[in-house]
Amino acid sequence: MHDIFQISPDLAKVKQYLTSSGFQSVGIVGFCWGAKIAITATGKDSWYAGAALIHPSQLILEDAQKAQGPILLLPSKDEADLSEFFDIIKSKPFGAHSYHHRFDDMHHGWVAARGNFTDPLNKQRATEALQLSADFFQQVLKV
């Protein structure tokens, strides 16, 4: 089994740099398959105070079971129903600080590589997702 898609050494380098710069904890954002990396990171290291999973892919129920920090889950219409996944998150001690908001009028990738920011609705919904993420991290990081 690969350890977070073999990027653990990269995450460790970032953590070392940020802790040496005075950061005591951080939030992590994952788009698409990066959501798998982000939620896995929260399960392996409490330094990650929470994770925003935006148009996530490759998530399995075990990821929710192993998560150890609040999760913001922002799927599009193209992602599977993640209700059972989120029920697991909500049952955890940090569940009250976790949120699930579906963007059923958006396609997979609308906030990142597949976003069409000249389309007013796409731009608006991407802005909403980013604001939800900023609000989430402000709460879980106690900024």
- The model's pLDDT over 68-92, given as tens digits with 9 standing for 90+, comes to 999 999 999 999 999 999 999 999 9
Level-2 CATH architecture, domain 4-11+24-140? 3-Layer(aba) Sandwich (3.40)
| Distance of alpha carbon 44 from alpha carbon 90, whole angstroms | 19
Annotated domain spans of the chain: 4-11+24-140
pLDDT score at 4: 59
Could you tell me the two tokens for 102?
């579906």
Mean pLDDT throughout 35-39?
Answer: 95
Asked if residue 89 lies in contact with residue 73, where contact means CB atoms within 8 angstroms, the answer is: yes
